[in-house]
Structure 1
Amino acid sequence: MTTNARRPVLAGRVLAFVGIILVAANLRTAVGALSPIVGRISTDLALSPVIVGLLGSMPPVCFALFGILTPALVRRSRLEVVLIAALLAIFAGHLLRGLAADVLVLVLGSAITFAGLGLGNVLLPPVVKKYFPDRIALLTTIYVTMLSVSTLIPPLVAVPVADAASWRISLAMWAGLSVIALIPWLALLARDRRSPAAPTLEAANSDVVGTLWRSPLAISLAVVFGLSSLNAYAMFAWLPSLVRDTVGVSDTTAGVLLSIYAFMGIPAGLLIPILAVRMRNVALLIYVAIGCLVAGYAGLLLAPTSAPVLWVVLSGLGTLLFPLALVLINLRSRSHVGAIALSSFAQSVGYVIGAMGPLVVGLTHDATGGWTVPLIVLIGVAFVGVFAGAVVSRDRMIEDGA
């Protein structure tokens, strides 16, 4: 673990601080803004169930694909330039979605937006490593919390804005937030334009990327990230249906339970990065997350009506794996260059794993006609994290070939 001399948080870093917060505020808006108003969009654009399903599966697929491409883009330019390009893609995608006259433009706009989000997901950890190597826990806490807020707000305001204006305004208005996020990064780039070029990925560490597939550390961190994504995507897709069938609640109550599940990411984001930096054995946090997942799913399986809120809260606490994986990207790399490679690998593989969550749960539910087998599968998958936790707890760096 690197030891960096601490200095005042904002000393010479105000633009980067504000920029990180604003980028994080953009990274989930497109995901939650569409689904609450998809019925209204379908009325105008005649969306088929296949297209609706495609739009729902695009985020993890685009996150994985463009996460893989991020190191190659950073090789050819500065990290900040790629981040600006990501924000421009988010801006263009939001506008295209709002202006869509047909299904093709809606899908294209969504793909462009999610491509920008995929780049931003990978770039935030190395940006923190570059500008705040002495405040990794604090900055990770702030931006993970902002990611949670970015997840919660769009579904809440999508319908009211669509009622007051139109679904087009409800989708396109988020382009304004990406424009605001551009300001500090453009200013930072202008300020540093005469500085020596940042080292490229090859110049700084040419062999890191090629060895990641053989690195137990990189694979284990990808598994931790993948477990977080798989469970989150599975629950966001199926929790309302699951509790309606097993607990017997109304659609409204099912939505409230899903909101409770989503809310649990906020306390996890506030506490986990700070704990991870201070703990000698971060595997304990992974084991706590696994315990919460298993207890929550077991409760929904064995006694769903006895304490459904408790089971949902426990399942939601399993999302602490997400902020833990993000902070470990920086704790297990020596520089922002190593962090770029590790972030790209862990998040790309992790989102591929995550995309399987809704599919596996849906297929097993359809095959069995119930929720017993899907919940047993989720419980079994959670235990994979035990082996990953043992590896990522070692205080080694990705540049060491760990």
Structure 2
Amino acid sequence: MVTTTPAAPRAGALLALVGIVLVALNLRTAVAVFSPIVDEIGRDVPLDSVSIGVLGALPPVCFALFGLLAPAISRRLGLELTVVVGLVAMVVGHLLRAGSDTVVVFGLGTILSLAGMGLGNVLLPPLVKKYFPGRIGPLTSLTTVMMSISTGVPSLVAAPLADGAGWRVAIGAWAAVAVVALVPWVALLVQHRRDTRRERAAAAALDQVDEVPAAITGRVFRSPVAWALVGIQAASSFNAYAMFAWLPALLQDTAGQPPVASGALLAVFGFMGLPAAIIMPILAARMRNVGILIQVGVLFFVVGYVGLLVAPAAAPLLWVAAAGSGPLLFPLVFVLINLRTRTHGGVVALSGFVQGIGYSVGAIGPLMFGVLHEITDSWTAPLLMLFAMVAVASASGFYLAKPRMLEDTWDRAPREAVRER
């Protein structure tokens, strides 16, 4: 069982705040730093098109796998120690990649880095709920903004840093950021071990209120709340990964955009998620009917895809900006994992379940999009497939419009849950 307290002491809360922010700042560095300097890396590490493709497919696969494993690991080690394990994996992974001369070593370092990030993805919501139960909206906004920075800054500085100091420094430097993130969590572990027996007993007594029954993961599988959140996470990941992989080619073929312009429009697609990361968690924490926010995200996707289907050359910037606003569903899922659970054990299990399955579905998005394009020699069928995934998110949003809680639904018969809907 994950140990928790309902409110952290002031010193512990400050350490936790710094630690949560720094963890979020590390959750995309290994992904973002790679593609801008892949040619420089290829001069020393024999990377062919197959190995580059495999390395590019690893992030969602690792996020899914280690997202599913995170609840079991945290139940055994506790939240804080699991965070430390994840950060250590990032440090070792960054350093292995920076020092590698073979594809095998580079790949092993990549997997280690992504494993730590996969654990961090899942642990952020329960950490926010544990230390800041009354500030879930603002803290979720802060963490999602930090994750956006973790995506943007490494890709921005990778090439200049590689030109000035070499690609090994450009990759290895992010190990230092992970080491800095370790400091507050190690301090929290030391602080926890210095607690008196009385404090431990009081915390344990309080924890009985939040105790989660055994076989919690199996119960999450039976909850329609969990599956509704999976539907939104899967749709958001599937659409985002497919667009990041194929949007430039689509715009070049259908809107006549040159490579530089299509690359800039891809950056617009990615940037549009930042305002949503700030606003949506705060709104979700204050609104009773979050289904409205989910349908807003669905509407953005629909407007963008209709434009790309019907008149792609008429206003490509508008269509891309609209489609890029659709992934506001991701920060919504992040905050709803906290808002739709009563217990800390529940939020850990739900976070792992939703992100594990969601990233698994997202991982096949680029492949399915490309296969449909290859088979039909058209962009219509792939875009219609994205519409279908958006419809899944919309249906999930209708179910989540009512403030149902995970723990109230995981023991109920499926027929009863459907009847209430």
- State the TM-score, normalized to the length of structure 2: 0.91
Partner in structure 2 of residue 3 of structure 1: none
Distance 2:93 2:81 in 1: 18
Give runs of aligned pairs for residues 286-325 of structure 1, distance below 5 A.
Answer: 286-325=294-333
Distance 1:10 1:143 in 2: 20
Distance 2:380 2:10 in 1: 51
Q: Is the 8 A contact 1:74 1:82 kept in 2?
A: yes
2:92 maps to a residue whose letter is A
Give runs of aligned pairs for residues 368-387 of structure 1, distance below 5 A.
Answer: 368-387=376-395
Identity %: 51
Partner in structure 2 of residue 193 of structure 1: 193
> Do residues 274 (structure 1) and 292 (structure 2) align?
no
2:273 maps to a residue whose letter is G
Residues 9, 327 of structure 1: CA spacing in aligned structure 2 closer, same or farther, 3 A cutoff? farther
Q: Is the 8 A contact 2:225 2:406 kept in 1?
A: yes
TM-fit CA distance, 1:346: 0.3
Partner in structure 1 of residue 176 of structure 2: 176
1:79 maps to a residue whose letter is L
Give runs of aligned pairs for residues 4-43 of structure 1, distance below 5 A.
Answer: 13-43=13-43
Equivalent position to 1:261, from 269, 290, 314 = 269
Partner in structure 1 of residue 407 of structure 2: 399
TM-fit CA distance, 1:208: 2.6
Partner in structure 1 of residue 45 of structure 2: 45
Equivalent position to 2:360, from 352, 365, 369 = 352
Q: Is the 8 A contact 1:10 1:17 kept in 2?
A: no
2:40 maps to a residue whose letter is R
- Give the match's secondary structure for 1:205: coil
Moved more, 369-378 or 57-66: 369-378
- 1:281-306: CA deviation from partner (whole Å, max 9, x where unpaired): 11111111111101101101111111
Partner in structure 2 of residue 217 of structure 1: 225
TM-fit CA distance, 1:214: 1.6
Distance 1:287 1:386 in 2: 6
Q: Is the 8 A contact 1:293 1:382 kept in 2?
A: yes
Q: Is the 8 A contact 1:19 1:181 kept in 2?
A: yes
Partner in structure 1 of residue 346 of structure 2: 338
Partner in structure 1 of residue 65 of structure 2: 65
Q: Is the 8 A contact 2:7 2:132 kept in 1?
A: no
Distance 1:52 1:269 in 2: 30
TM-fit CA distance, 1:227: 1.0
Moved more, 333-342 or 111-120: 333-342
Partner in structure 1 of residue 216 of structure 2: 208
Distance 1:350 1:293 in 2: 18
Q: Is the 8 A contact 1:296 1:310 kept in 2?
A: yes
Q: Is the 8 A contact 1:227 1:385 kept in 2?
A: yes
Residues 268, 10 of structure 1: CA spacing in aligned structure 2 closer, same or farther, 3 A cutoff? farther
TM-fit CA distance, 1:38: 1.0
Distance 2:282 2:21 in 1: 17
Residues 8, 334 of structure 1: CA spacing in aligned structure 2 closer, same or farther, 3 A cutoff? closer
Q: Is the 8 A contact 1:296 1:311 kept in 2?
A: yes
Q: Is the 8 A contact 1:129 1:335 kept in 2?
A: no
- Greater than 2 Å deviation, 4+ residue runs: 6-12, 194-200, 202-205
TM-fit CA distance, 1:9: 11
Distance 1:140 1:302 in 2: 36
TM-fit CA distance, 1:335: 2.2
TM-fit CA distance, 1:367: 1.1
Partner in structure 2 of residue 237 of structure 1: 245
- Give the match's secondary structure for 1:44: coil
> Do residues 283 (structure 1) and 291 (structure 2) align?
yes
- 1:309-368: CA deviation from partner (whole Å, max 9, x where unpaired): 100110011011000000000001112221000000000010011112101111111112
Q: Is the 8 A contact 1:276 1:327 kept in 2?
A: yes
List gaps (5 residues or longer) in structure 2: 1-5, 411-421
Instruction: Indicate the RMSD between aligned Cα atoms, in angstroms.
Output: 1.9
Distance 1:321 1:208 in 2: 26
Q: Is the 8 A contact 2:297 2:329 kept in 1?
A: yes
Distance 1:114 1:373 in 2: 32
Q: Is the 8 A contact 2:32 2:151 kept in 1?
A: yes
Q: Is the 8 A contact 2:7 2:130 kept in 1?
A: no
Distance 1:148 1:391 in 2: 28
TM-fit CA distance, 1:12: 5.0
Distance 1:189 1:392 in 2: 36
Residues 9, 231 of structure 1: CA spacing in aligned structure 2 closer, same or farther, 3 A cutoff? farther
Q: Is the 8 A contact 1:9 1:135 kept in 2?
A: no
Residues 9, 79 of structure 1: CA spacing in aligned structure 2 closer, same or farther, 3 A cutoff? closer
Distance 2:305 2:40 in 1: 34
TM-fit CA distance, 1:189: 1.1
Distance 1:376 1:118 in 2: 30
Moved more, 342-351 or 150-159: 150-159
Q: Is the 8 A contact 1:24 1:147 kept in 2?
A: yes
Distance 2:377 2:295 in 1: 31
Q: Is the 8 A contact 2:8 2:131 kept in 1?
A: no
Distance 2:354 2:79 in 1: 18
Distance 2:253 2:174 in 1: 35
- 1:219-276: CA deviation from partner (whole Å, max 9, x where unpaired): 1101111111111111111111111111112221111111111111110001100111
Moved more, 229-238 or 207-216: 207-216
List gaps (5 residues or longer) in structure 1: 1-5
Distance 1:214 1:294 in 2: 30
TM-fit CA distance, 1:168: 1.1
- Give the match's secondary structure for 1:394: coil
- Give the match's secondary structure for 1:45: coil
Partner in structure 1 of residue 101 of structure 2: 101
Moved more, 320-329 or 69-78: 69-78
Distance 2:12 2:107 in 1: 41
